[in-house]
A and B are shown apart, each in its own frame.
Chain A
């Protein structure tokens, strides 16, 4: 149905474009037009396409709600208030209506499915009819409005301008979407679990039992072990990436010959471009066993999913991030500062340590913060190489878990949408989003504040 709708829309738009353009061109023989015939055509096409897309979008969202509501009413009005069964029941209705359902369907299900099939077809045709009618009406309107003085170009450019603005707004809408979808579910989570328990509890086991009378039916949602795990792995990562990234940046910016740079830069770019799932595979299958082996031979007990393995590989993942950002800020330090230092007889390394790095410090600090935020939000490496058990431990050889691992574990697979467990994932997502956003805002603010000091 959707493809039919859009095929008709494109056909109508093309028709309007060519018809209007040729009419305008014919008119141009007799009098001078304000706008070239092409613009008349483009405006006509836009006047068909935009309303039709809007109608389809609004129409399908509204009709989907309407159809769901009505078919559930036809099946069993009690379902409407039962959030848990509602989704499952509607899925069943759709399955049955599409002919894939079970043969032994209940009477109520059959009634619901019949209603669904009837209303779905009806609303689809209604949307199609409405869209078509508006499209044709707009084409006729465009045809009638052709005249010498008609400012088709200005109008069309006006439309384009608004379209471009809409494109730019998508980024804002995305942010709002993220904030709302996460915030809304988090709010619902806090209705079930108190924020104090969530923020300061030291026990995390989101498994809620199926029956209320089972042991551990409540589940506990203290995020402190996850926070500690996340920070542990991120600090290992930054301890690896900080020195390596910074030294690499200093070498590339201050010492390396152009020839060496031409070799080394692409290698760092390759490292930056390796998908994290690949690094996770490497961490889990090569680095972790290696660390375990070395640890065991030293007489240490190393968990097979140690924080160290995940942290090390994650550190190497953010090396190119630290080094390219630091490289930029080091290169941006004016040459005159260096020349002044050399003039005083300082060696290169003294100049770097005493002059260049202090001058570049705000930029480097912000690079480190961005790198930490990247490490905190990284998912695949920890999912594959770090553990699931929420141990409250600061020992890098233990298995710890992180925010991202828990979000992934909770949300992959079948979920009942209203349980505290599922909502907890969104609450964790909110904490993660808030944490990384804060780091970013601070990092950008630091750069902004100190940027013009040497210009």
Chain B
């Protein structure tokens, strides 16, 4: 050794000076690469974590409104002649009472000024069509209420509910300056005052017009250029139209002090509120304005000293709730008649076309029935198969095929299992469509590989000494396995089963194939009744156009995730608690 180190380097072998600047720089570079590489890894993990967080936060934000509903508390006159004309208090008679009239009379009494047909219909549409059913249920529960006047919460429609959940339009409110003279002629109102009380509002309107002009100007700039020799007639016409609109808007915006007429299809609405009245401004000048009386004042007024003006940022034609709707609802809210409550309905009622009445009970029961079938089928089959493959199977060709087959089955797309269910269970065996029975069978086949693999791992983890000891004292092979090995493997098997069940609970695609997507209001009572399951319900709701169903969808997702969380948590707990390391 000493010899080699003493000899000078042989020709052809390069020597390095590790202290040189060049080498130091290289080392530095290598360490930078190292740090960068590590950072990439960390970023990848953090990205996945951030996605989970954003996803959950987004769904919680969208889904929380689904758990609450808004109701208006009204004093109802439970007139015996409407509910039970015979006076005998028979259930059938009570069922047929005209509860809708009671509810609607009490509701309309809030706004006596609404007499025109179309307007009245709008007003009535703010109350849910299920409100009368609630009253019916309450009366049947307690017939002694008949003839009394009771305070009763009436469910609002989805549009009204969305308004209170802040999902319809942004509303900003500002106090008005100066006193106003009010002239009311039917529903037409003229407001005027000294000292230009509307100047600020008018300036705001003009600023809005300027913004519109800029927006349309940007659209104009984005239009493609005319092509030489091409047919540009439509394009040119559009360009001219937009340019004219921009010029017109700029002119109006620049003409300070001139009166403006509000176009409710493109401009924010402004509502003056005073003395319980709501007036929608239609023509705004600096010192006077004309408007429409949406809600009548509590008493006769000719002059108001303090007033507020509310601005609804979204133009009326771009939202479901009209200005009148919002004015009615806000008036009631001001009177303290609106209450927000936890929506038990979401958990206790079945599906419905009306968003405010729709609930997940049917889907929950359907999921429970489906999972029950899945569990009953795949637990015995899975454990049996695992025991056979692990303990009894001879090592031959057939067993090899079985093993490869199970591994491949685990990776078959779930929708293909749906095709199997459709072709086999529905068309060949003639089992009922949309039934939890078929859904359960399909899901059982789907999660069978998972359970077999998990059970085999659990059986393998039991040390052979246990079995050998049992065989040594004279147990038969099967006695050794069923009396000793299997009980010890049970926690592992259960963990695998719960994870498989969680997988089955979240599965959607194969169930679409076997018709569990029908709109079903009734709650399934048996495994052969038509039903749906929670993930399919989520899919169905997500497809509906009503905004209110979006919240319902996210709410149902939260419930589903809650169940999955509990199941996976149970699996982890079971593993920690009972799994033994040998």
Contact = CB atoms under 8 A, between A and B. Distances in A.
A331 B38 CA distance: 17
B370 interface: no
Contacts, number: 257
B408 A281 contact: no
Contacts of A407: 415, 419, 513
B402 A171 contact: yes
A171 B560 CA distance: 29
Which interface class (under 10, 10 to 19, 20 to 34, 35 or more) fits A? 35 or more
Contacts of A172: 401-402, 405
A429 to B, nearest CB: 4
Interface string B29-56: 0110110011011111101110110010
A164 B385 contact: yes
Given A271-B52, A273-B502, A352-B37, A408 B538 contact: no
A436 B44 contact: no
Contact of A286 (B58, B415, B553, B560): B58
B427 A417 contact: yes
Nearest to B40: A247
The SS class assigned to the A binding surface is helix
Interface of A: 61, 64, 153, 157, 160-161, 163-172, 174-175, 177-178, 181-182, 184-185, 243-248, 250-252, 254-256, 264, 267-271, 273-282, 284-286, 299, 316, 319-320, 323, 347-350, 352-353, 370, 373-374, 376-380, 383-384, 404, 407-408, 411-412, 417, 425-426, 429, 432-433, 436-437, 440-441, 444
B52 to A, nearest CB: 5
Given A178-B420, A271-B51, A347-B31, A408 B429 contact: no
10 contacts: A164-B385, A171-B402, A171-B448, A181-B423, A244-B48, A273-B564, A275-B506, A277-B535, A350-B34, A412-B517
Nearest to A261: B45
Given A254-B41, A348-B34, 8 more contacts: A248-B44, A248-B48, A277-B539, A316-B48, A320-B48, A377-B412, A412-B517, A432-B416
A182 B44 contact: no
Contacts of A433: 412-413, 416
B414 interface: yes
B44 A244 contact: yes
A168 B385 contact: yes
A181 B424 contact: yes
Given A172-B402, A282-B55, A412-B517, A178 B412 contact: yes
Contacts of B30: 347, 350
A280 B404 CA distance: 32
A171 B384 contact: no
Contacts of B560: 275, 278
A24 to B, nearest CB: 18
A377 B415 contact: yes
Interface stretch (B69-77, B196-204, B278-286, B388-396): B388-396
B232 interface: no
Contacts of A412: 512-513, 515, 517
Given A175-B409, A281-B538, A379 B414 contact: yes
A164 B380 contact: no
A251 B45 contact: yes
A266 B128 CA distance: 44
Contacts of A373: 411, 413
Contacts of B62: 285
A228 B285 CA distance: 61
A244 B45 CA distance: 8
Nearest to A3: B526
A170 B405 CA distance: 11
A210 B307 CA distance: 64
Nearest to B37: A349
B413 A380 contact: no
B415 to A, nearest CB: 5
Contact of A264 (B49, B401, B424): B49
A379 B413 contact: yes
Contacts of B415: 377, 379, 404, 407-408, 429, 432
B287 to A, nearest CB: 42
Contacts of A374: 411, 413
A278 B388 contact: no
B485 to A, nearest CB: 13
B413 A404 contact: yes
Interface in B171-185: none
B553 A281 contact: yes
Contacts of A264: 45, 49
B222 interface: yes
Given A153-B476, A277-B535, A433-B413, A181 B419 contact: yes
A280 B517 CA distance: 17
B508 interface: yes
Contacts of B96: none
A377 B476 CA distance: 46
The SS class assigned to the B binding surface is helix
Contacts of B135: none
Contacts of A252: 41, 45
Contacts of B47: 244
Contacts of B401: 172
B317 interface: no
Given A264-B45, A271-B52, A444-B407, A178 B416 contact: yes
Interface in B83-104: none
Nearest to A436: B413
B452 interface: yes
A281 B419 contact: no
B412 to A, nearest CB: 7
A379 B510 CA distance: 9
Contact of B59 (A174, A269, A282): A282
Given A247-B43, A267-B49, A408 B427 contact: no
Nearest to B550: A285
A255 B508 contact: no
B445 A174 contact: yes
B222 A299 contact: yes
B217 to A, nearest CB: 16
Contacts of A64: 430
A93 B579 CA distance: 56
Contact of B45 (A166, A248, A269, A429): A248
- Top 6 A-B pairs ranked by shortest CB distance? A377-B413, A251-B41, A275-B506, A167-B384, A181-B423, A247-B44
B48 A425 contact: no
A275 B553 CA distance: 14
A112 B535 CA distance: 40
Given A247-B41, A379-B508, A168 B413 contact: no
B42 A251 contact: yes
Contact of B388 (A167, A299, A323): A167
B462 interface: no
B554 interface: yes
Most chain-B CB neighbours within 10 Å: which of A171, A436, A437, A440? A171
A221 to B, nearest CB: 17
A426 B416 CA distance: 9
Contacts of B406: 171
A425 B513 CA distance: 11
B509 interface: yes
B41 A248 contact: yes
A246 B392 CA distance: 39
A411 B55 CA distance: 30
A165 B30 CA distance: 59
Interface string B374-388: 000000111111011
B448 A170 contact: yes
Contacts of B476: 153, 157
Nearest to A429: B419
A275 B507 contact: yes
A93 to B, nearest CB: 13
B288 interface: no
Nearest to B510: A379
Contacts of A164: 384-385, 387-388, 392
Contact of A429 (B416, B448, B542): B416
